[in-house]
Structure 1
Amino acid sequence: MLLLGKTSLKSTGYDEEHRISNTAYKRSYERIIDAIENLTESYPDYPWTYREVAEFCGCEAETAIRISRELKKQGILDKNTRHLRICS
């Protein structure tokens, strides 16, 4: 469970089940995108790191970095920040 100060990302039963099924059936690329969307929508001001996103969706940090680099090239993620931000 990720902790943000006194706030935690403890999920409801449905959310946990959904995350488990995503981990089992989706490719890393799709899981990374879903994780970035979910985390940045839930906590938009928190500077998410590649490692945190990787832990959230069940992949390696290197995979999160590689996929995020591709998303930055496509203009989906903000290139001008070290932290993960979706372009508006």
Structure 2
Amino acid sequence: MQSDRDAIPYYLILRAGCAPYVLNANRHVLRREASPLLRAFARARSAPTSIAEDVWNDFSGLESVSNLERMDMRAYALVQGAESEHQLRLLSAL
């Protein structure tokens, strides 16, 4: 059985003074909370990057994130592309 791509967390976004965002592959918000385990997984898996790029415009607009804030927000990629269906299901449970 294949995982629902829209339900799998692909990104963890940290914003100062706000709850973190967990986003799917299309950068749509799945939830506005992240377990300590998901945060640790993100930090161990990848380096944080800025969301100042154009690909983040839709997310930033929907969440009313200013251009200045975008430079300080950090995104962690949770999925690298080579994960098995089992690994993606486990990630969805974090």
TM above 0.5: no
Higher strand share: 2
- TM-score (ref. length: structure 1): 0.28
Larger RCO, structures 1/2 (Cα 8 Å, 6+ apart) = 2
Higher helix share: 1
